[in-house]
Amino acid sequence: MPSLTPAQRRQRAIALPPLRDADSLAIEGFLDAQWAESGVARQTTAGYRRDLQGFARWRDGAGGGLAEADRAALFDYLAWRARDGYSARSNARLLTALRAFFAWRLRRGERTDDPTALLDPPRLPRSLPKALAEAEIEGLLAAPDVDTPAGLRDRAMLELMYAAGLRVSELVALPATAVNLRQGVLRVLGKGGKERLVPLGEEAQHWLERYLAQARPALAAGRTPAWLFLNPGGQVLSRQQFWQLVKRHGAAAAIDPHRISPHVLRHSFATHLLNHGADLRALQMLLGHSSLSTTQVYTLVAREHLKRLHARHHPRG
C-alpha cells in the first residue's frame, strides 16, 4: 500500500473522533507534571500534546481510551502510522511521548504495567548536520542593509547567532539584560531552563553595540520592551519572522534555499570551531548540550571536511 501524502494524512486525522474529556484531562495532567518536575521546554510540551492527542483520538475510533491502552494497541497504532507513511523519526518522537506518559501513570499507581516496556524505538538513519562554508557565512552576514534599523537588527542577530551558536528559540527570547558588552559575554537560557554564559567575539560585540545604540531605540518607538531584538513598534521578534529574514538574506547572498535555515547557523558555528581545532568538551558547553554524545556528531562533519580536503589536495587522494 503506497504511503499517504502529508495532505492526505491531515485529512485522515480530521476524520478521527474528537478527543474525549477523560483523555484530555489525562494528557493535560501529565503535561503539567512534566513541566513542574522537569521544566520541559514549551516546544517539547506542544509535541507531547500533539502526539498523545493523535493516539487518543485514534484509540477512541477503535473503541478504547488512551489511559487504558495496552501493548497490542500501541503495535496497531504504530503499524497504522507506518502504512500512512510517517517517518521513523516521527514515530520515535511519538514513542518518547508515550513512554513518558505511561511511566507517569505507573508512578501515580494508575497502572500496574507499562505497555511501552518491550517496544523498541525505530532505527533512525544517521544524518549529519548541514553547515555552510565559511565564505557563504560571510556573504550571509553581509547581506542585510545596515543603513536601516531593521537591517542593522538583522545583521546583529545573524552575527550573534553565528558567534554564539544559539538555538533560534534562545535567540528570539533573549532579554536586553542578557548582553554584557563590557565583559563580552552573553547569558543564555537554554533547554530545561539551564543557563550558560557564552563569550562574544569582536564582530558580534561591534554589531550589537551599533544595534543597541542606533536601531533598537528606533524599533522600540518610545517604549521600554524587555526583549533584546524587536519588531517596529517594540514587539518581540518571533521564530517564524527570524526564519523569514534568514531565508531572505540567504537568497540575497545566493545561497541555495534548501541549504539554509536558522539552525544551519548553529551547525555552522559548531562545525567551523571544530575545523579550527576547538575542544569537544568546550564545544559542548558553548552549545548547551547536556550529553557529550550529542556534540560528538559534529566530529563526523569535521572528519568529512578533512577527507574532502585530502582527496582534493593530496597527490594520492
**What residues act catalytically?**
167, 191, 263, 266, 289, 298
Q: Which residues pair with residue 185 across a beta bridge?
A: 180, 199
Name, in order, each residue with C-beta under 8 angstroms of 129's C-beta and a sequence gap of 6 or more. 267, 270, 271, 297, 298, 301
Q: Which residues pair with residue 236 across a beta bridge?
A: 230
User: Of the candidates 129, 126, 127, which has an alpha carbon nearest to the alpha carbon of residue 275?
Assistant: 129
User: Of the candidates 270, 271, 256, 265, which has an alpha carbon nearest to the alpha carbon of residue 306?
Assistant: 271
Element (DSSP H or E) covering residue 72? helix 71-83
Euclidean distance between CA atoms 268 and 73, whole angstroms: 42
Grid cell locating 116: 511501552
- What is the per-residue burial (b if ≥16 Cβ within 10 Å, else e) of 277-303? ebeeeebbebbbbeeeeebeebeebbe
Euclidean distance between CA atoms 116 and 102, whole angstroms: 8
Residue whose entry in the numeric block shows the C-alpha cell 492526505: 8
Long-range pairs for 115-121: beta carbons < 8 A, 24 or more residues apart: 115/69, 115/70, 115/71, 115/73, 115/74, 116/71, 116/74, 117/71, 118/71, 119/71, 119/74, 119/75, 119/78, 119/95, 121/92, 121/95, 121/96
Rounded to 10 degrees, the C-alpha dihedral 221/142/285/124 comes to 110
Q: Which residues pair with residue 140 across a beta bridge?
A: none
